[in-house]
Amino acid sequence: MPKQIAILSSTLTHRIAAGEVVERPASIVKELVENALDAGAGEVYINLEGGGCEEIRVADNGVGIPAAEVPLAFARYATSKISQFEDLYGIHSFGFRGEALPSIASIARVEMVTRSAAETAGICCVVEAGEVRECRETGAPVGTSLIVSRIFSEVPVRRKFLKSDLAEQGACIDAITRLALACPEVTFRVSVGGKPLLHIPGTDDLSERIGLTLGRDLASALVKAAEEKAGAKLEGFVSRPTFTRSNASQIYIYVNGRFVKDHLLNHAVMTAYRRIIAPRRYPAAVLALELAPADVDVNVHPAKLEVRFRYPREIYGLIVTVIQAAVGVTPESADHVGEPEVREGRGDYVARVEEALKRYRISTGTEKLFFTGYPRASRGEALVLAEPSPPSSLTEPLATGWALPEKEKKSEGEGGYGSLRYLGQVADTYLVFADATALVLVDQHAAHERILYEKLKDRTEGGAPQSQRLLLPEVVSLPPRELAFLADSAPILAEAGLEVEPFGGDSLVVKAVPSFLSPAEARQLILDILSDYGETDRRLPLTDRRERLLMSLACRGAVKAKRELSVAEVGALCRELDAFSQEVTCPHGRPVRLTFSVVELEKRFQRR
Ligand code: ADP
Ligand code: MG
């Protein structure tokens, strides 16, 4: 039962807020390397222990921190990068919120050694659980080095969400790669467990850096793309249509030097390649978009991964035109893949852009305080829209919040999955099991979806929903119709652990999400639910809408196909399957498992 209202202790509020910035070791690596780059380092050294889960070291030869300012660096909202509101419109550094160091120090032990050129001695400062434990003079070269250890030791729930060391290490390397591509002139040295892994010497040639970070094969498949229009400049490299990948992971887009994973920009890239590469194939691209800082709001996402544009339509058009010019797309060549009879006219292209912009508006809301607060000098000529190319659906892999026990226990009881031997994964999607009588294949996504669905159903039919409160509730702006629909559905959403409330005007606030989903996904969850509810579902009475909702939630929370699972993860999945569901299909009706009996195998091998 809640008691009196009381202000939370600062240790607690810091730890709460830290969850926004520090999701996993890779977020720490990103923040520390960004600080090194902001400090003008020419060289950055990174060492990871236990995939970054045990210890992360980042050392740079940047300007260092003057001794007197060292304790401030760990204070919340303390930054050397902006000082007044207007500075938000001219950000040239990665950091500016002064949140990273205090957040990291509130969930880990941080030892920082730093010296600025003006001082003869360095300072060693140890901060743990948000408290400065030690601060003393020490000999040190100019620059800064940080050792972060005991990561999440005080936040066991976060540790539980971490994947295998190898997966976390991969995410750390991804974070470094993104920054290395943004700053080719900086030398990066990366080691793992003290052993050198990467040496990326500084260069003024982006294509050389691409070769060293993304591989020579990819680099040789790229062509240069560049164009400047109406105050926006787009530059970089994009792959020839003959080179494609099975996912969008090789699309690197930077806005004013900052890596972003922005749906609108990715959509524009896919539009440019539509019809010249096969469906469900993706290009590679490293593109840098430079805009007047007042035309882009970077302060809209905790990890600054998404941005908002003052002129989204023009940016979209610029990307499409530049890429198509670079890869030599003409209306004639745009048809050699796909169905030639479906020639699209300009009208279809416009419809596609409108669809992308509509989605962009749904997720950004109508209010654009950032842009209305600061008028731009002149807009210049409007950018010319590119020639038509057909639509694509860009599906991005999303992190799944799948909490699993660290170690696999012995399977208990006979029958069920517990009595099967796990043999391995096929295509990172299908789990292979066998026993003396049969071969069993399980679709990991369908299986996990079924489990989550059953659990949710149990809860909505009596049990209390397991949800996690968002410590910083997420405000989502929506068109009135969508808003009304969600407000109306609020009781069934709450039963499933998703708490939403009207927030005045065109907004609603998400206060809690089901416990198996990451709070960072709250906004996307709302948008997905809206797109999953078809017109007919919306007209159903409240109780009948529940089914669709549970399906959306289960699908979103379930581990995706094409993800490597550890043996421990498979073990946990099996135990849950045994405990929760004998159902042989996922909620959408696809099979969870296929069983081939020995008899069946004998037939196939023509022994019978
Ligand atoms: P932000 O980067 O948003 O300013 P941080 O918490 O990451 O906030 O860092 C706080 C301040 O500490 C920075 O503004 C900067 O002055 C200083 N700082 C942090 N890391 C470094 C570094 N590697 N070299 C020099 N100064 C640093
Ligand atoms: Mg920073």
* 19-31 pLDDT per residue, tens: 556 888 999 999 9
Query: Could you tell me the pLDDT band of residue 320, with boundaries at 50, 70 and 90?
Result: very high
- Predicted local confidence at residue 210, as pLDDT: 94
* Residue 589 to residue 309: CA distance in whole angstroms: 41
Distance CA(530)–CA(502), nearest Å, equals 16
Rounded Cα gap, residues 313 and 268, in angstroms: 10
What lies within 8 Å, CB to CB, of 384 at 6+ separation is: 229, 317, 321
Q: 485 φ, ψ to 5°?
A: -60, -45
User: What's the CA gap between 592 and 428, in Å, rounded?
Assistant: 15
* Tally of CB atoms within 10 A around 182: 21
Nearest alpha carbon, ligand 1 atom 2: 95
pLDDT range class, residue 566, cuts 50, 70, 90: confident
The residue type at 133: R
Q: Which amino acid is at 115?
A: R
Mean of pLDDT values over 386-407? 28
Point out the ligand nearest to the CA of residue 81: 1
The rounded mean pLDDT for the chain is 80
- Number of residues that make up the chain: 608
- CATH 3.30.230.10 domain residues, the chain: 207-333
**Per-residue model confidence (pLDDT) at position 181:** 96
523-529 average pLDDT score:
85
Question: Residue 341 pLDDT more than 60?
Answer: no
Inter-residue contact 245 to 283 (CB < 8 Å): yes
Residue with the nearest Cα to atom 19 of ligand 1?
35
Question: Is pLDDT above 60 for 344?
Answer: no
Report pLDDT for 535. 73
Task: Tell me, in angstroms, the distance from the centre of ligand 2 to residue 518's CA.
Answer: 23
Write the CB contacts of 247 (distance below 8 Å, at least 6 apart in sequence).
Answer: 282, 397, 562
Q: Is 123 in the pocket of ligand 1 (CB under 6 A)?
A: no
Residues 6+ apart with CB under 8 A from 280: 246
Q: Which helix (H) or strand (E) holds 361?
A: helix 346-364
CB 326 within 8 A of CB 238: yes
CA of 38 to the centre of ligand 2 (A): 8
Cα radius of gyration rounded to whole Å, the chain: 26
- 213 touches ligand 1 (CB under 6 Å): no
Helix (H, G, I), strand (E, B) or coil at 56: strand
Confidence of residue 133 (pLDDT cuts 50, 70, 90): very high
> Which architecture, in CATH terms, is 207-333?
2-Layer Sandwich (3.30)
| Cβ pair 56, 25 in contact under 8 A | yes
Question: What pLDDT sits at residue 402?
Answer: 28
* Res. 65: pLDDT tops 90: yes
Which numbered atom of ligand 1 lies nearest the CA of 64? 25
In ligand 1, the atom with minimum distance to the C-alpha of 99 is 6
pLDDT in tens, 233-267: 999 999 999 888 888 889 999 999 999 988 899 99
The DSSP call for residue 279 is T
| Distance from residue 98's CA to the centre of ligand 2 (Å) | 6
**The amino acid at 165:** D
Question: How far does the centroid of ligand 2 lie from the alpha carbon of residue 236, in Å?
Answer: 26
Higher pLDDT pick, 603 / 359: 603
Structure tokens at 71: 């304790």
**Is residue 225 in contact with ligand 1, taking CB distance under 6 Å?**
no
Q: What is the largest CA-CA distance in the chain?
A: 86
Task: Give the pLDDT confidence score for residue 12 in this predicted structure.
Answer: 66
Q: Distance, CA 302 to ligand 2 centroid (Å)?
A: 12
Cα(80) to centroid of ligand 1, in Å? 7
Q: 35 CB less than 6 Å from ligand 1?
A: yes
The pLDDT assigned to 551 comes to 85
CA of 17 to the centre of ligand 2 (A): 15
CB of 143 shorter than 6 A to ligand 1? no
The number of the ligand 1 atom at minimal distance from the alpha carbon of 94 is: 2
Q: Inform me whether the pLDDT recorded for 201 exceeds 80.
A: yes
Query: In 61-215, at which residue ranges do the beta strands (DSSP E only) sit?
Result: 109-115, 122-128, 131-138, 143-149, 187-192, 195-200
What share of the chain in percent tops pLDDT 90?
Answer: 34
Residue from 14, 31, 35 whose mutation best tests the ligand 1 pocket (most atoms within 8 A of CB): 35
Look at residue 302 in the predicted model and tell me its pLDDT: 59
Residue 218 three-state SS = helix
As given in the structure block, the two tokens for residue 131 are 């408290």
The protein residue with its alpha carbon nearest to ligand 1, atom 25, reads: 64
d(CA 111, CA 294): 37
Alpha-carbon gap, residue 29 to 35, rounded angstroms: 10
Using CA atoms, how far apart are residues 36 and 180, in angstroms rounded to an integer? Answer: 12
- Which residue's entry shows tokens 């922005």? 262
Which residues, in sequence order, are bridge partners of residue 223?
238
User: Which range is most confident: 40-49, 295-304, 319-328, 531-540?
Assistant: 40-49
Kindly report, as residue ranges, where domains of CATH 3.30.565.10 are found in the chain. 10-200
Which fold would CATH assign to domain 10-200? Heat Shock Protein 90 (3.30.565)
Give the Cβ contact number of residue 505 at 10 Å: 13
Q: In 436-590, which residue ranges form alpha helices assigned H by DSSP? A: 444-460, 480-495, 522-532, 535-539, 542-557, 567-580
Name 136's bridge partners: 124
**Structure-token match 């400049």, residue found:** 233
Q: What is the pLDDT of residue 330?
A: 62
Give the C-alpha separation, 469 to 434, whole Å: 41
CA 11 to centroid of ligand 2, rounded, Å: 20
Q: Tell me the average pLDDT across 591-599.
A: 88
Is the pLDDT confidence value at 205 over 90? yes
Q: For residue 73, which atom of ligand 1 is closest to its CA? A: 12
Which residues of the chain are in CATH 3.30.1370.100 domains?
368-608
Q: What DSSP letter does each residue of 413-434 carry, written as one string? A: SSSTGGGSEEEEEETTTEEEEE
In the predicted model, is pLDDT for residue 441 greater than 90? yes
Closest of 56, 61, 156 to residue 110, by C-alpha: 56
In angstroms, the CA 80 to CA 90 distance is 14
CATH class of 368-608: alpha beta
Which ranges constitute the DSSP H helices of 225-280? 263-273
Q: How confident is the model at residue 470 (pLDDT cuts 50, 70, 90)?
A: confident
The answer to whether residue 429 scores a pLDDT higher than 60 is yes
CA–CA gap between residue 112 and residue 105 (Å, rounded)? 11
- pLDDT bucket at 67, cuts 50 / 70 / 90: very high
